Structure 1
Amino acid sequence: MRVYLFIAAIAGGVTWLITPLIRHIAIAIGAVGEVRARDVHKVPTPRMGGLAMLIGLMVAMLFASRMPFISGLFVGSHQAWAVLAGAVLICLLGMADDLWDLDWMLKLSGQLLISVFVAWGGVQIIFLPFGSLVTASPSISMAITAFLIVASINAVNFVDGLDGLASGIVAIGGIAFGFYSYYIARSSPSYASMATLLDVALVGICVGFLLHNWHPAKLFMGDSGSMLLGYLITCASIIMTGHLDPATVHTSVYMPVFMPILLPILVLFLPVLDMCLAIIRRLSKGQSPMHPDRMHLHHRMLRIGHSVQGAVLILWGWAALISFGSIMILFFPVMYVLVGMVIAAVVLAVFTMAPYVRSRLLEIRTENVMASAAQDIRRTSVAPAGPTADPTRGNAGHRHHVANSRHGK
């Protein structure tokens, strides 16, 4: 475990140190996004932070390849180098989008090609949980692998709308999944696991970048960063299926997270949910699935009254609830975990809806006060009827009657 913590520290430290330099480079080459109607920030901010995270990842993996405990993961297998090559390619594709705003079809095609290349390099779904662990055929394995990588890349990209949101959610998912992969790796003699290594490095680069990306952000991760994070966490979950041996691993071991093929969806539940809702919403309006709007989960959080920091922290809480809740089933009875998750969900729901409820109560109170004031104004502006209502008018009438009587005499 100490080796993994050291790798995470290396990844985070390098990312934190290199990010200011990347920010200056992004400004120099024009990788500064204009403020669009759907954006939350009001000041043009440089992007391309994914390059800093990529450098942090590569340095951490270089250190890992020289450490005796995990150096064997880089010998006799092409997985590590396939993952790194794919990370470079996916980051370059994202940098191109940060610079030139690529067409979404072109970007999606590039993601698919890179995913197929990585799957061809050995990062594939090996077993499918159909009642028991079943070995997948090469063609099915490559297809499922490419689909999962592309889906996760775009899920993280969709949720990257507030400072620190995407990096925090991926870090939380990486921590939860890192514990799970470490638990699975205990069945091996050395405890060494490429999935765990990728997870701890991923958490490190997220934390290192988050120190510069907290609101107000000095640098955005851009597509180069969001695509890289989605790619890495999916590769880690896919690699982990190589540790599930049908002859030795019972279904109950991996059922706490339902099945290996759904692990990216679990640890990235909020981004996947946001992506699915956005696609359904846009298709129902006859728009492209990639058509931008201001209806994402984080936009809704701001609309009901949360600050940027408050919305990010609450969404982190939901991500932690789902990620860690599924992992806790490994160590505690299911009933206890479900009760704890329900209690935590109620607390998070209260915090989520508190600004909306507070604003609605204030509106109702204001409406009641205004209605009461309006009634008072109407009550005082309408004069009462009757001969004695106005003493002055009554006296005048009496004098007029007396005068008429005298005139008659």
Structure 2
Amino acid sequence: MLKAIIGILLAGGVAFAVTPLVIKRAFVWGAVDRPNARKVHKGLMPRLGGLAVYLGFVPAVLLTMPHSLSVYGLLAGMTLIMLVGVADDIRGISPRVKLAGQVVAAVAMFPFGLHVDFITNPFNARIIDLAWMSVPVTVFWLVAVTNAVNLIDGLDGLAGGVSCIAALTMATVGWTQWRAGATGQQEVVLLALTLAAAVLGFLRYNFHPARIFLGDSGSMLLGFALAGMSIMGLTKSVTAISVLVPLVILGIPLLDTTFAILRRYHKHRPIFQPDKEHLHHQLMAMGLSHRQTVLVIYGVSALLGVSAVVLNLVSTDQALALLAILAVVIIAFANKVGVFGGISHKRPVGRQHHRI
């Protein structure tokens, strides 16, 4: 236990200590976000934050955690996705090349046993063997979450804070399952807490007003790490509701991405065309400040996190009832806020440097 605590503290401390150095390197390497008419910041902003999170997380895991095959697989995939993000932050790469890199990082985890072999039907608790479908399902999940977190990285501290809340929720769910007798969950708990600590160390420089952006190196790294950890937890749980818990934990990025796709399809716009109708844009259009908007989304993410923990503790019937209530509340909230495209923009909104 002491070694785990040291690892968590090390991750946060290293991320906090190296971020100023990463800021300097970002300017030297040209990894900067330049101001334009669509962005709020006035000067060059470094955007290599993923490197700081990576340097905080990976050494802490290697030095203080048991080195299982799945841990090596997660670190291998994270390393590849981080390199893709760094290349994009420094030089800029096409969406196709970026997507190819994400797929390669996802496939790289297969030899380490990190893939979804089965899911449990929440309605009858029947285990469904995915067989050959394991490959596309696993790759789709990893790539989808990676891009969903990248998509919400539109305000200072937003993607980092939401990812930190998701990691803490994952750790809590894993801990409850571990205490209930499930095997293998301790690994997920330690990884998630270590990631949360690394993000918290970085957030000191990323929260509004930010001194550095996550960049694609950071938002993709966090999305990929969370997706990979959820697979690790999912493969160790056969509870009926287990397949739905990661969806609730990652609700903010997944829902914002889903609403964006539906909104653009309904308006006959290209799905990959950026717009200013995401959740954070709409909250700011309603009059919230930059910081207030981020804190409100933190609150919603924390509420979803609590819901995910509750889902893990109640019976299947109660969990399905809670999910139905959540769905109604989320749709009503999304419609009220205007992520379906109902609110006009009354003021300039947050920076946009994501691709979707």
Q: Does 2:129 correspond to 1:135?
A: yes
Among 179, 185, 210, the alignment partner of 1:186 is 179
Shift, 1:281, TM fit: 2.9
Q: Which residue of 2 aligns with 1:32?
A: 32
C-alpha distance in 1 between matches for 2:229 and 2:223:
10
How much is the aligned-residue C-alpha RMSD, in angstroms? 2.7
> What SS is found at the alignment partner of 1:243?
coil
Q: Which residue of 2 aligns with 1:289?
A: 271
Q: Which residue of 2 aligns with 1:51?
A: 51
**Residue type of the alignment partner of 1:158:** L
> What SS is found at the alignment partner of 2:174?
helix
Please say if residues 213 and 219 of structure 1, whose CA atoms lie closer than 8 Å, have aligned partners that are also in contact. Answer: yes
> What SS is found at the alignment partner of 1:162?
coil
Q: Which residue of 2 aligns with 1:92?
A: 83
Change (3 A) 1:6 1:263: farther
- Bigger CA radius of gyration: 1
Deviations 1:257-309 (A, max 9, x none): xx32x443211111111111222333445544332222211111111111111
Among 157, 169, 181, the alignment partner of 1:176 is 169
Deviations 1:81-105 (A, max 9, x none): 1111111110010111112222112
The equivalences for 1:10-409 within 5 A come to 10-65=10-65, 71=66, 74=67, 77-130=68-121, 131=124, 132-137=126-131, 139-186=132-179, 193-244=186-237, 251=240, 255=241, 259-260=242-243, 262-331=244-313, 334=318
C-alpha distance in 1 between matches for 2:182 and 2:98:
42
Shift, 1:242, TM fit: 2.9
Change (3 A) 1:286 1:192: closer
Deviations 1:99-138 (A, max 9, x none): 222211221121112112213431111321133223332x
Please say if residues 45 and 218 of structure 1, whose CA atoms lie closer than 8 Å, have aligned partners that are also in contact. Answer: yes
Q: Which residue of 2 aligns with 1:382?
A: none
**Residue type of the alignment partner of 2:227:** T
**Residue type of the alignment partner of 1:26:** A
C-alpha distance in 2 between matches for 1:250 and 1:101:
43
Deviations 1:346-387 (A, max 9, x none): 9xx7xx97xxxxxxxxxxxxxxxxxxxxxxxxxxxxxxxxxx
Q: Which residue of 2 aligns with 1:9?
A: 9
Alignment identity in percent?
34
C-alpha distance in 2 between matches for 1:21 and 1:13:
14
Q: Which residue of 2 aligns with 1:400?
A: none
**Residue type of the alignment partner of 1:29:** W
Shift, 1:185, TM fit: 2.5
Tell which has more relative contact order, 1 or 2 (C-alpha 8 A, sep 6+): 2
Change (3 A) 1:35 1:212: same
Deviations 1:59-88 (A, max 9, x none): 1112223xxxxx2xx2xx421111111111
Change (3 A) 1:283 1:312: same
Please say if residues 174 and 185 of structure 2, whose CA atoms lie closer than 8 Å, have aligned partners that are also in contact. Answer: no
C-alpha distance in 2 between matches for 1:167 and 1:269:
15
> What SS is found at the alignment partner of 1:193?
helix
Q: Which runs of 5+ in 2 are unaligned?
A: 338-356
TM-score in terms of structure 2 length = 0.83
TM-score in terms of structure 1 length = 0.73
How many residue pairs get aligned? The number is: 325
C-alpha distance in 2 between matches for 1:37 and 1:120:
46
Shift, 1:218, TM fit: 0.3
Structure with bigger helix share is 1
Please say if residues 57 and 198 of structure 2, whose CA atoms lie closer than 8 Å, have aligned partners that are also in contact. Answer: yes
